Each structure stands twice: as structure tokens, then as C-alpha cells.
Amino acid sequence: MPRRRPIRHAMETLSPLVRDFVLHFGEMGSRWGINRTVGQIYALLFVSPRPLNADEIAEALAFSRSNVSMGLKELQSWRLTQPHHLPGDRREYFAAPEDVWAIFRTLAEERKKREVEPTLTMLRGALLQKPSGDAERHAQQRMREMHDLVELITLWFDDVGRLDPATLVPLMKMGSTVSKVLEVKQKITQLAGGRARTATAD
Amino acid sequence: MPRRRPIRHAMETLSPLVRDFVLHFGEMGSRWGINRTVGQIYALLFVSPRPLNADEIAEALAFSRSNVSMGLKELQSWRLTQPHHLPGDRREYFAAPEDVWAIFRTLAEERKKREVEPTLTMLRGALLQKPSGDAERHAQQRMREMHDLVELITLWFDDVGRLDPATLVPLMKMGSTVSKVLEVKQKITQLAGGRARTATAD
DNA sequence: CTGTCTTTTCAGGAATTACTGAAAATACAG
DNA sequence: CTGTATTTTCAGTAATTCCTGAAAAGACAG
């Protein structure tokens, strides 16, 4: 996991604070199927007070210009950054969104599109096959369980993701006490003769 | 991304149904920092109607015995499977937990331990430093935003994860309508003179 | 157009990660 | 203990992924 490449003159201009942050996300990126370079570039953009161009990134992280180009391309494909132009400057400048919630949401959406959807499609395909024998029947049953769980979590995530942070944050801070409130709600609904019906469960 | 290794005589015994499932999770694994082998082994265990020993796995997936051994070791370190003994058989047998919720929970717990906790620790360390100049002040502000978001999501996840599926599933099926119920709750709390206070939002 | 600045592509080499077979370690029956 | 069955380790190699410099492509002012 440690990279022993001779550090050329890397990150000389970065303060230790930022450098550690950048290195950490480089490492994390590599555990998430995103490569180190891409993780570091995004970390740098994330903490930068202003948009950066590719040369500035290459300089700060001691990467080749072409490596930065590829990294930025990947980040754009994840919709995590997009190029901006500054008046009177031909170069493209990149920044991370201001809103951390927006970043999180985008990340979740992209992962869903790239990983969850294909998995659900595969599982649905498998469930349509006619099982031949007990082993296949069992395998399908397991796949069904997985499918249903993944689908439930995904739908719910979509749903919750549509709330704006102002609503969502208090909700999350309540944590599991939400379920207690729901018990209360049950009773009220009964008392009110079913008038307050807000959820029908699918 | 596609692996062009000449397939020796791989997965001959597996039905197409299971084979596709196994291959899919091999691919997915490699996007998640888990290697292909490990993903395939777990997929196989997941759909298997009975526990399997290492030789059976090696045979079914056409991996070397030692590769299977390493894969199983990794899966055990994730607490996703553990060895069992069958009476009168010296070999160890492995299975995935019956309950898909339990698997999901374990996965979430391990990822938290391995990725989220270290990140929070790093961020807290960074936030303790005294910023020197505007750039550092801004970087710290961004790190604080990230820290608070990650912490909020994690605490909430812990909280919700403690609910049993029987409570959680209906809650998730409600999706965002939960927030509507909470508005109702607000009013009730007021009517009841603050007695029903269940959440204090830190 | 032309020339310059900028970004992208890509072949090849560097670094890392994955996998294997052989040997060592472990477990356990007798 | 001894011998056998089983698992683990590990050095070497195979495969993959990453990164670079050079060249091509693109953008745009004049």
C-alpha cells in the first residue's frame, strides 16, 4: 500500500495541513476503485479557495500534465467537477462544488448508476430463468433476497436524497427515535379514523 | 477492465445462472477495492445451498488452492464468513450468513471501521491545527464541513442500523414521507406541552 | 489562414497487485 | 510421538494498472 516512488519535489508548495488531507484521500481513493491521482486531485480542488487550472494542479501535486488531464477527465465523468473559464484566460479552471451535500449526492447517484443498476439488472435477469434442480432454486432464492434488499435500500435512498438538507439534517439527528415517533403516529392515525394517512408502504 | 487470461477450464461445473452471478460480483469487487477472486468466492458462498471447503471453491472457480486460502482469509477479516467443522471431516467449511441484512450490516460496519473512522481522525487532527493565513483558514473550513457531514451520516447510520429489519423495512418503505409525519409530530409535541420530547437534535 | 497556447491521446515503461506452486506450518488421529 | 491431512506462507512470475513524455488535436486571436 505505501508507494515508494522517489518523491521528486512533491507538494513543496502545499502546507502540511493540506498535504496530509490530499495524501489521505489519495489512499482512500485507492480503496474505492478510484485511483490515487484522482483522489488527490479532488482533495486539492475541494480545499482550494479558488478554481485551479491543470498546470497548477500538476505543479502542486508533482504529477505530469497528462496525468492531471486524465484525472480531471475522470472527475468530470463522475460529475464531481466541471471546467470554467476565467475572462481573458484561455485555460480551463476546475473547482469542487461549494455544497458538501451536493458532492455526496452526486457521488451516490453515480455509484448507483455504475454499480447498483447493473447489479439489479443482472439479478432480474437471473430471476427470470427457470431453475433446473434444487441448487438453482436455492441460488435464485438467495438472489431474490439480495435483489429485494438492494432495491429497497436504493429506492429509499432516492427518496431521502430528494429532501433538502434543512429537512434532512434534523431528521438524521433524530436517528432511530424516528421509529418511536412512528409508533405515536400509528395511534394518532387510529384515533383520527385513518384521516392522517401519509404512507402506504409501496 | 476485462481480463483476457486464458480460461483454463473454469467453472465448468457451475450452471450459467450461478456463473454469471459469480462473474458479476468478481467485476464489482474489483471496483470496490476488493479483488476479483474475493468477490467471486463470496458470490459462490452466497448462493451455495451448503457450506463449501476450500478445495471445492478452488475447483468450482478454477483458482489455485493458495489463492482460495488467501481469499477466505480476507473474507474472514471482513467478518463475512467463518470456518465451520463438519463431524468426521477435518476440513474447514465456509458459508455466508443466511440473513442478507446481517451481511449488509457487517459490510457497513467494516467499511466504517476501515475508511470512515480513519478519515474522521485525520480531519479532527487537521481541525486542531492553527491556520496560518487565509488559504489554510479556508481549507480548514472545508474540512470542517466534510467532517460534520461524514459524522452526521455515520452516527445516523449507526442509529438506524440498530433497528431490526421488522421495524426498519416499513420505515424505509415510507421513504421521504417520514418527514411529513414529523411535521405532524411537531404539532403534537406543542399541544402536549413538550412532554413527548423524543429527539433533542444535539 | 497562421501561429500560439492549451488540452488530449497514446505507446511504452514503471509500479503495483494478483496468482501460483512449493515448502513450511498446523492440526489431529492413532 | 509419528504420520497424514489440511491450511498457510511466501518468493517468483504473470497480469494489470498507473504514469509519463512526445506527438496530435483543438481552440482561438489576429
- The tens-digit pLDDT sequence of chain A (202 residues) is 333 344 445 576 889 999 999 999 999 998 888 999 999 999 999 999 999 999 999 999 999 999 999 999 999 999 999 999 999 899 999 999 999 999 999 999 999 999 999 999 999 999 999 999 999 999 999 999 999 999 999 999 999 889 999 989 988 888 778 777 777 766 777 777 655 444 443 3
Look up residue B47 and give its amino acid: V
| Domain A16-95: assigned CATH number | 1.10.10.10
pLDDT, tens digit, for every residue of B139-149?
999 999 999 99
The residues that bridge with A92 in the sheet, in sequence order, are: A85
Spans of chain B below 70 pLDDT: 1-10, 12, 185-186, 193-202
pLDDT, tens digit, for every residue of B161-187?
899 999 899 888 887 787 777 777 667
d(CA A181, CA B9): 57
Quickly give A142 CA vs D23 C1' distance in Å. Answer: 53
d(CA A87, CA B156): 44
Domain ranges for chain B, please list them. Answer: 16-95, 100-162, 172-202
Chain C positions within 7 A of any protein Cβ atom are 5-10, 14-23, 28-29
d(CA B56, CA B110): 27
Residue among B160, B176, B200 with most chain A CBs within 10 A, to mutate: B176
Contact B172 A156 (CB under 8 A): yes
Which residues have CB atoms below 7 Å from chain D, the nucleic strand? A 30, 35-37, 62-67, 70, 90; B 1, 3-6, 30, 53-55, 65-66, 69-70, 72-73, 89-92
Residue B7 per-residue DSSP state: -
For C9, nearest residue by CA–C1' is A66
Q: What is the 3-state secondary structure (H, E, C) of A97-152?
A: CCCHHHHHHHHHHHHHHHHHHHHHHHHHHHHHCCCCCHHHHHHHHHHHHHHHHHHH
For A122, the closest of B24, B101, B170 (CB atoms) is B24
The residues that bridge with A82 in the sheet, in sequence order, are: A95
- A131 contacts on B by Cβ (under 8 Å): 17
Quickly give B67 CA vs C13 C1' distance in Å. Answer: 29
For B181, the closest of A167, A181, A202 (CB atoms) is A181
